[in-house]
Amino acid sequence: MRNQLVITAILVLSAAVLLAQSAQTPAAARPNTSAPTKVTGDSVKTASGLQYWDITIGTGEVAKEGSHVKVHYTGWLTTGKKFDSSVDAHRPFEFTVGKGEVIKGWDEGVTGMKVGGKRQLRIPPELGYGASGYPGVIPANATLIFDVQLLAVK
């Protein structure tokens, strides 16, 4: 009986230590999703009107048309209102580049990224949700800002 009590106490203490360690993850290790990353320098502006800044250049495989990719992202309106985040949901998003599974600005903006890279996309309405918007979330003709991190290319 006493051994069982000791074992239970050890298990409870171990669980408490693990929970305390995970709760104390340094702020630098958690991406900040409250506002878009502050970008400096010149952006790349494509013929379609997409603008992007490479925040971090990855060192892994390059995403190209037909690549199945896994990303983390957070999206904001130009007003600063966050409307979606895979980071906050702890659930990376996967899609195939160039297959129309996402808005055109994503297909174009993720192309050329390397795994481990982080890029900020400014997507004009015609490459996003256009005149229709996404009712209740994204107004009509909204320019969208996304911080996108490429996690994997398959």
Known catalytic membership, residue 146: yes
Annotated catalytic residue: which of 52, 73, 138, 145?
73
Q: What is the torsion angle, in degrees rounded to the nearest 10, for the CA atoms of residue 118, residue 121, residue 32 and residue 135? A: -140
Known catalytic membership, residue 84: yes
Annotated catalytic residue: which of 54, 55, 83, 95?
83
Annotated catalytic residue: which of 52, 103, 107, 147?
103
**Which two tokens mark 101?**
């599974």
Annotated catalytic residue: which of 52, 84, 107, 145?
84
Query: Shortest CA distance to 143 belongs to which of 10, 21, 51?
Result: 51
Annotated catalytic residue: which of 107, 123, 129, 147?
129
Known catalytic membership, residue 95: no
Q: Which residue has the tokens 């006493």?
A: 2
Known catalytic membership, residue 73: yes
**SS3 readout for 35-103:** CCCCCCCCCEECCCCCEEEEEECCCCCECCCCCEEEEEEEEEECCCCEEEEHHHHCCCEEEECCCCCCC
Annotated catalytic residue: which of 123, 138, 146, 147?
146
Q: Which residues are known to be catalytic?
A: 73, 83-84, 103, 129, 146
